[in-house]
Amino acid sequence: MSGICEGRVVVVTGAGRGLGRAHALAFAAEGARVVVNDLGVGLDGSPGADSPAAQVVAEIRATGGEAIAHGGDIATTDGARSLIATALEAYGRLDTLVNNAGFLRDRMLVNLDEDDWDAVLRVHLTGHFLPLRHAAAHWRAETKAGRTPQARVVNTSSGAGLSGSVGQGNYSAAKAGIVGLTLVAAAEFARYGVQVNAIAPAARTRMTERAFAETMAAPDAGFDAMAPENVSPLVIWLGSAASAGVTGRVFEAEGGRITVMEGWRPGPSADKGARWTPAEAGETARRLLVEAEVPRPVYGA
């Protein structure tokens, strides 16, 4: 039986473990040929002993699927360029890019140094931008050659990017930036046949196991709500041709729940038609806040 991604070529970054691994295996199970990217670093981004990408490729091939490993650093221009080139050289096409790679360096803001700020923004935000930019350049060239693709990009944000998370100022800023990047890319790349969406997943991975240790319930005998494999079905659909017409959206995915996030939109407003005094502006702002919806609390507050 043909899967929903039969014949598609899919690139997944950070696919050696956790969510990325689950996505890569799920895409392969649905008929895709998969480029498995993983640098093989530790939780904090330091170099690991070896890359797990080859292990995921072996798993896919053991079940009759097609996959190839890529161990480059996708937060560099050369690494991102070679990632896209690997897909094109191995399989002759590129249909879907799933940006997933990342790590944590958690600190309260008063203890967060510049290196930890830069490192997290580099891998999450730059590590989304560069593969996206090189993939889109390929799809633009295809469109100009008269071969408009049914291309898909799935970016990975987080609840921390949507609501903030105490002790994760760098991570929250990067994940919020990914939402902005997603919205702009969806608007700019539509003319090239590219749809761009983002997910904000919640699952048990190396990055979350310590944060969730005290709050996660033990897996139910029939359903482990925090398994990363629960997030993958939505990613597979967004990465397939079946998601036609869906772009510029952000979805939360956790366990058996999928939520369309509605983001920033105008709420209560007042227009004086002239310049406010500070006192008037403050009085008006307080009145509008009473009418406005209360924002979701910051995680950990």
Q: Which residues are catalytic?
A: 158, 171, 175
In what order do the strands lie in the sheet containing 250-254? 66-70, 33-37, 9-12, 96-98, 151-156, 194-202, 250-254, 257-261
What are residue 199's DSSP bridge partners? 156, 251
What 8-state DSSP symbol labels residue 273?
S
Dihedral angle of Cα 93, 237, 176, 292, to the nearest 10 degrees = 150
In single-letter form, the type of residue at position 289 comes to L
**Contacts for 174 with CB less than 8 Å, ≥ 6 apart:** 102, 120, 121, 124, 125, 161
What SS3 class is residue 41? strand
Which parts of the chain fold into alpha helices (H)? 18-29, 53-62, 77-91, 114-121, 127-144, 159-163, 169-189, 209-212, 232-238, 278-291
Q: How many angstroms separate the Cα of 160 from the Cα of each of 126, 199, 201, 232, 260?
A: 18, 12, 10, 19, 16
